[in-house]
Homo-oligomer: A and B are copies of this chain.
Amino acid sequence: MKARVTVTLKNGVLDPQGKAIEGALKSLDIAGVNSVRQGKVFDIEIDAADADAARATLEQACERLLANTVIENYRVELV
């Protein structure tokens, strides 16, 4: 089973990396970009009895490793 986990910063959390990218885009004369926020995406292959079991395992992986749930949100999609 294939899944995609997307981890993004919660609203209100400062994103210095995103700010740096904004600045770099401006210096490359790429116009119109107002804001950039960077996150992570994980493409995962997983063996599980069914979709629910896969989702439960992946949520556990997010809670314990893939996301810092204090400042990040995560979303699990089975593809």
Contacts and interface: CB of A to CB of B under 8 A. Distances in A.
Interface of A: 6, 8, 18, 21, 24-25, 28, 30-48, 54, 57, 60-61, 64-66
A66 B44 CA distance: 22
Rank and list the top 7 A-B pairs by shortest CB-CB distance, nearest first.
A34-B45, A39-B41, A32-B47, A35-B45, A37-B43, A41-B41, A32-B46
A39 B40 contact: yes
Q: State how many copies of this chain the complex holds.
A: 2
Nearest to A33: B46
Contact of A44 (B33, B43, B65): B33
A6 B54 CA distance: 23
- Most chain B C-beta atoms within 10 Å of own C-beta, residue among A32, A60, A65: A32
A40 B21 CA distance: 13
